[in-house]
Chains A and B, each alone.
Chain A
Amino acid sequence: SAVISQKPSRDICQRGTSLTIQCQVDSQVTMMFWYRQQPGQSLTLIATANQGSEATYESGFVIDKFPISRPNLTFSTLTVSNMSPEDSSIYLCSVLDRYDGYTFGSGTRLTVV
Chain B
Amino acid sequence: DAKTTQPNSMESNEEEPVHLPCNHSTISGTDYIHWYRQLPSQGPEYVIHGLTSNVNNRMASLAIAEDRKSSTLILHRATLRDAAVYYCILNNDMRFGAGTRLTVKP
Instruction: Write the residues of chain A forming the contact surface with B, with a CB cutoff of 8 angstroms.
Output: 1, 33, 35, 42-45, 48, 58, 92, 94, 96-97, 100-107
The size bracket of the interface on B is 10 to 19
Instruction: Write the residues of chain B forming the contact surface with A, with a CB cutoff of 8 angstroms.
Output: 34, 36, 42-46, 48-49, 85, 87, 91, 94-99
Would you call B42 and A106 a contact (CB within 8 A)? Answer: yes
Would you call B97 and A101 a contact (CB within 8 A)? Answer: no
Would you call B96 and A45 a contact (CB within 8 A)? Answer: yes
CB < 8 Å A-B pair total: 47
Closest to A48 in B: B94
Query: Are A92 and B46 CB-contacts (below 8 A) given A44-B96, A45-B96?
Result: no
Bound-state CA distance A64–B96 (Å) is: 24
Q: Which of B43, B46, B85, B96 contacts A97 (CB 8 A)?
A: B46
Bound-state CA distance A73–B42 (Å) is: 25
For residue B62, give the distance in angstroms from its CB to the closest CB of chain A.
11
Would you call A101 and B49 a contact (CB within 8 A)? Answer: yes
Bound-state CA distance A104–B97 (Å) is: 16
